[in-house]
Amino acid sequence: MHRVARQLARRKERLVLLNGAGSFGHIPVKRYRLDEGFNRRKIGKFARTKLQLLRLQEILMSILCRHGVPVVPLNPSSFMMARSGRLYRADLAPICEFLDLGFVPLFGGDLVPDLKQGWRVVSADQMASWIAPRIGASMIVYGTDVDGLYSSDPNMVADAELIESIPCREVRSVAESALGSRMPDVTAGMRGKMLEAERAAKRGVEVVIMNLTRPERLHPILDGKRGRWTRIIPEQRRLK
């Protein structure tokens, strides 16, 4: 994160940063089965998991501020609503206002109120695909631990080939063969990212899947260059 923060501090674009919940969120959600929705007996476990997510956000805030990134923290469960696990409504005014003031909004995967099930997990990937077209973002960058989308899992298959670009209309067929994460994950791993990328690309937003352990690649990506990452080519017409 220190290396990522140093790279982000050099950028002048209007940026919104979304973080995955990592072990702070996925492990307790899976352990307590919080992804199944509201259960009165699990209220205490819900609260403890939310505390863990706040601790993660504090860590990220501390690192980003140290390197000069003017981040402002937002709590998704205070301005988002889901319906059956899908983001349904969000007040985007705070995000837009902070962007106009020169800040970098920071938030991530969270347990949010759900109209059907009391609460549900909404991933940062889903938040990105829902919010980006609605605030006029030109690009979503999904940071992972691999260079992009491969013909098969590069951690398991030696001759797996990187797919450098893929049209929006072909994403779903490729996603059918994508593996989920091998770590505890309640948001479908790479397959989930691809399906969210498809939703954004259908609405005219370019999506890049890149290796964030090489944060120096953020610069050519944000400058619109091609390289060792996967670009998902959007539909030509931006939808509302």
Q: Which of 73, 96, 122 represents a domain boundary (last residue)?
A: 122
Q: Which of 122, 156, 185 represents a domain boundary (last residue)?
A: 122
Q: 102: how many CB neighbours lie within 10 A of its CB?
A: 8
**If we measure between CA atoms, which residue out of 93, 114, 104 comes closest to residue 38?**
114
Q: Which of 14-23, 31-40, 75-84, 145-154 has the lowest mean pLDDT?
A: 145-154
Calculate mean pLDDT across residues 45-61: 96
Q: 152: how many CB neighbours lie within 10 A of its CB?
A: 14
Question: Do 76 and 118 belong to one domain?
Answer: yes
Is the entire prediction scored with pTM above 0.85? yes
The residue behind tokens 């940071």 is 143
Question: Do 143 and 235 belong to one domain?
Answer: yes
Q: Are strands 206-211 and 230-233 parallel, antiparallel or unpaired?
A: antiparallel
pLDDT of 191 reads: 79
Calculate mean pLDDT across residues 219-236: 92
The residue behind tokens 């077209």 is 133
Residue 128: inside a domain: no
Question: Do 144 and 204 belong to one domain?
Answer: yes
pLDDT of 213 reads: 95
pLDDT of 179 reads: 53
Question: Do 114 and 164 belong to one domain?
Answer: no
Cα(193)–Cα(125) distance, rounded to whole angstroms?
Answer: 6
Query: Percentage of the chain surpassing pLDDT 90?
Result: 75
Calculate mean pLDDT across residues 16-28: 92
User: What digits encode the pLDDT tens for the residues 164-219?
Assistant: 999 988 888 776 765 545 544 444 567 778 889 999 999 999 999 999 999 999 99
**If we measure between CA atoms, which residue out of 224, 59, 219 comes closest to residue 139?**
224
CATH number of the domain enclosing 143: 3.40.1160.10
Domain range spanning residue 219? 138-240
Q: Is 83 helix (H, G, I), strand (E, B) or coil?
A: strand
pLDDT of 194 reads: 87
Residue 130: inside a domain: no
Residue 160: inside a domain: yes
Cβ proximity of 142 and 210 under 8 Å = yes
Q: Which of 57, 89, 122 represents a domain boundary (last residue)?
A: 122
Residue 220: inside a domain: yes
Question: Do 91 and 155 belong to one domain?
Answer: no
Residue 38 contacts by C-beta under 8 Å, 6 or more apart in sequence? Answer: 114, 117, 118, 119
pLDDT of 178 reads: 55
pLDDT of 187 reads: 42
Question: Do 71 and 143 belong to one domain?
Answer: no
Q: 151: how many CB neighbours lie within 10 A of its CB?
A: 13
Question: Do 12 and 85 belong to one domain?
Answer: yes
User: What digits encode the pLDDT tens for the residues 80-110?
Assistant: 999 999 999 999 999 999 999 999 999 999 9
What domain count does the chain have?
A: 2
Residue 7 contacts by C-beta under 8 Å, 6 or more apart in sequence? Answer: 215, 216, 218, 219
Residue 111: inside a domain: yes
Q: Using pLDDT thresholds of 50, 70 and 90, give the confidence band for residue 154.
A: confident
User: What digits encode the pLDDT tens for the residues 107-152?
Assistant: 999 999 999 999 999 999 999 999 999 999 999 999 998 898 887 7
Question: Do 114 and 206 belong to one domain?
Answer: no
